[in-house]
Amino acid sequence: MTDNYDASHITVLEGLTPVRERPAMYIGSTDTRGLHHLVYEVVDNSIDEALAGFCKHIVIIINPNGTVSVEDDGRGIPVDIMPKQNKSALEVVMTVLHAGGKFDKNTYQVSGGLHGVGVSVVNALSTRLTAEVFRDGNIYSMVFGKGLLLQALSCRPETDAEYLQRQRRLDKEGQAKETTTGTRITFYPDGSIFETTEFDYDVLAHRFRELAYLNKGLEIQIEDHRTGDSDTFCYQGGLREFVTHLNEGKELLHPDPIYVDKSDDVNKIEVEVALQYNDTYGEILYTYVNSVNTREGGTHLEGFRSALTRAINNSAHANKHLKEYISVRGEDVREGLTAVISVKIANPQFEGQTKMRLGNSNVKGLVDSMMYQALTEFFEENPKVIAAIAKKSLDTANAREAARRAKELARRKTSLDMSGLPGKLADCSERDPAKGEIYIVEGDSAGGSAKQGRDRKFQAILPLRGKILNVEKALEHKALKNAEIQTLITAIGAGYGEKFDAERARYHHIVIMTDADVDGAHIRILLLTFFYRFMKPLVEMGYIYIAQPPLFRIAKGKQEKYVYTEEDMRLAIAEYGEKGISVQRYKGLGEMNAGQLWNTTMNPEFRILKQVRIEDASYANEIFEKLMGDDVMPRKDFIKRHAGEVKNLDI
Contact 576, 554 (CB under 8 A): yes
Q: Which residue did the predictor score with more confidence, 97 or 491? A: 491
Scanning 52-159, the segments in alpha helix (DSSP H) are 89-95, 117-124
Domain that holds residue 285: 239-402
The residue out of 201, 233, 265 marking a domain boundary is 233
pTM over 0.75: no
Range among 63-67, 175-179, 472-476, 537-541 rated most confident: 63-67
Q: What's the whole-number mean pLDDT along residues 218-226?
A: 96
Closest by CA to 406, choosing from 335, 478, 468, is: 478
Residues 628 and 544 in one domain: no
**What does the pLDDT look like over 566-606, one tens digit per residue?**
888 898 888 888 888 888 888 778 788 899 899 899 999 98
pLDDT of residue 1 exceeding 60, the answer is no
Residues 339 and 488 in one domain: no
Q: Specify if 424 maps to a domain.
A: yes
Whether 519 sits among the annotated catalytic residues: the reply is: yes
pLDDT, mean over the chain? 86
Whether 501 sits among the annotated catalytic residues: the reply is: no
Residues 125 and 218 in one domain: yes
**CATH number where 458 lies:** 3.40.50.670
Specify the 3-state DSSP secondary structure of 463. strand
Number of separate domains in the chain: 4
**What does the pLDDT look like over 401-422, one tens digit per residue?**
776 655 565 554 444 443 467 7
- How does DSSP assign 183-206, residue by residue? EEEEEEE-TTTSS-----HHHHHH
**What does the pLDDT look like over 435-485, one tens digit per residue?**
999 999 987 777 788 999 999 999 999 998 878 888 887 777 778 888 899
Catalytic residue among 519, 591, 615, 630: 519
Residues 123 and 142 in one domain: yes
DSSP-derived pairing of the beta strands 350-351 and 357-358: antiparallel
Residues 30 and 174 in one domain: yes
Residues 84 and 210 in one domain: yes
Residues 183 and 244 in one domain: no
Burial (CB count within 10 angstroms: exposed 0-12, middle 13-18, buried 19+), residue 460: buried
Residues 267 and 192 in one domain: no
Catalytic residue among 48, 72, 224, 442: 442
Q: Which residue did the predictor score with more confidence, 210 or 102? A: 210
Q: Specify if 481 maps to a domain.
A: yes
Residues 318 and 269 in one domain: yes
pLDDT of residue 128 exceeding 50, the answer is yes
Catalytic residue among 279, 408, 517, 566: 517
Q: In which band, very low, low, confident or very high, does the pLDDT at 645 lie, cut at 50, 70 and 90?
A: low
Q: Please report the pLDDT score of residue 8 as a whole number.
A: 43
Q: How far apart are CA 280 and CA 278, in angstroms?
A: 6
Q: Please report the pLDDT score of residue 110 as a whole number.
A: 61
Catalytic residue among 427, 515, 540, 625: 515
The residue out of 233, 256, 291 marking a domain boundary is 233
Q: How far apart are CA 431 and CA 179, in angstroms?
A: 67
Q: In which band, very low, low, confident or very high, does the pLDDT at 633 lie, cut at 50, 70 and 90?
A: confident
Contact 83, 74 (CB under 8 A): no
Whether 630 sits among the annotated catalytic residues: the reply is: no
Q: Specify if 532 maps to a domain.
A: yes
Closest by CA to 189, choosing from 380, 36, 17, 367, is: 36
How many C-beta atoms lie closer than 10 Å to residue 524's C-beta? 18
Q: Specify if 407 maps to a domain.
A: no
Residues 220 and 250 in one domain: no
The residue out of 233, 252, 267 marking a domain boundary is 233
Q: Specify if 563 maps to a domain.
A: no
**CATH number where 248 lies:** 3.30.230.10
Residues 287 and 357 in one domain: yes
Whether 3 sits among the annotated catalytic residues: the reply is: no
Q: Specify if 598 maps to a domain.
A: no
Q: Specify if 531 maps to a domain.
A: yes
Q: Specify if 4 maps to a domain.
A: no
Q: What's the whole-number mean pLDDT along residues 493-511?
A: 91
Residues 197 and 286 in one domain: no
pLDDT of residue 186 exceeding 50, the answer is yes
